Chains A and B, each alone.
Chain A
Amino acid sequence: MASTSSAVGNGSPAVKWLLRVVVIGYLFLLVAWPTAYVVRHTFDDGLTGLRTALSDPDVVHALVLTVQVSVAAVVINTLFGVGMSLLLVRHRFVGRRALSALIDLPLSVSPVVVGLALVLVYNGRFGWFGPWLEAHGLQIVFARPGMILATCFVILPLVVREVVPVLEELGDDQEQAARSLGANAWQTFWRITLPGVRWAVVYGVVLSLARALGEFGAIKVVAGNVGGETQVATVLVQQKYQNFEQQTAYSMAFLLVFAAVLCLVVVALLRPKEGHR
């Protein structure tokens, strides 16, 4: 607490308490209360709400689809994210800054726009690549590849932005030492670089997984919203809610929140094992 007070300055105790109340009140009204409300409504009738929801095949399908699309997107994004971070930090090339800026683009572009853009490029009738791909038996838009693509776009910066600062701080001393000890590029990456950034990667993965599970706009446009086929959990929540199946909507919302909290708990549990630093 001593450091907090010195950081705030020489404010009086009253100011300190006021600041705390404002911050806690803000978080309560913005995050804690609405989330708690969802949880409370889910369990209005005990477990019946969840049970009813999970007996609906559309709900189960949407949940499974959400997990499949999210996991696929997160795996792809992690591979590319780590690769791109290495490229950005360890190499100097023309257009490096432009690439770096491009990676941040998904943060500022509305996901709905992303979805529309993907539909324009990949749709089977008049898109740039769509007709060719479809002729070769690969449907992108209104199918899983498109949904994975949209999710990848949205979570693109999350792994890179976690890994880049850690790589920068790590420096390349350890990598050079490994090279001088006889390790080739792959061994150096696998034994030295990756363990050095593993926590950043874990955080990036958890963040992008949470973001992927909750993605709505881009995936709704790309997926086409066919119940039982290309409908993901978030989209189904909206539909159920609008169809006055509130109980099911709350139950699914609860499951999404639960998954997100689970992610955070897993990270919190893993973290102390990092060793005595």
Chain B
Amino acid sequence: MALRLTLAAALACGLALPVMAATTQDTPMEVHWSFQSPLGMYDQAQLQRGYKVYREVCSSCHSMNMVAFRNLGDKGGPFWNPKYPNPNENPVVKAIAADYQIPDIDSDTGEAIKRPGTSADYFPNPYANPTAGKAANGGALPPDMSLLAKAREGGPAYIYSIVMGDDAHIPAGLVVPPGKHYDPYIAGDMTAYWKGDPNKVPRGGVIAMPPPLSPGKVQFDDGTASSMDQEARDVAAFLEWAADPKMEERKQVGVAAMIFLVLFSGLLWFSYRGVWRDVEH
């Protein structure tokens, strides 16, 4: 019994050991996502709206190196269309790609040129190199967005919260340094900027990104009212897709695999009972 209990505890703890670092920032806001449940899928209309926010706002500073235009038309992606199983033939994808100018080498002269993008190209980097990116943004390089939703504790809710919290409510007594913006959801230490009660230093930190979104900043094609909340929610969902584009395939294969495994285990259980039926043990 002791063994049973301790091992059950070992199993539970081993699987659920949370890494609890000391937090200096607010936990991300609770957001409901269409994809959060074990079988939840992306909301394609939301991904399309989120893409528009990325295209018109984020992409001017943030790269998304690991995503190709063709990925937008992949199954589970924002512009997947069953009529075009090959995303390279998807007219929406082709139009999006052609809208970008991609650096290349002229195949006759060898000179550096720019040409319209094709579906096989990747989203181009807004800066020539990381140093240029830093120089243009007060010394802080805007992080690449391909994996951002997986690379931050809280995932899409963190992205949503950072965007919503940027400069939203600056407590009286907090002197934010020039070129920086207060955000309660980002890790940091505000002690040096706090003029109030030293025991009540506000949680959060400073971020170099100015508040990126505002109501009506992006006009959605599907007629959805573009409140700031809607824009932030949609772009966070889009970035979750960018970080985990195979989620829908993964969950679909997972359901089939689980059905098979449960049936297979059942068969093995009956075989086991059958083989051991007449054995005293």
Do A and B come together as binding partners? Answer: no
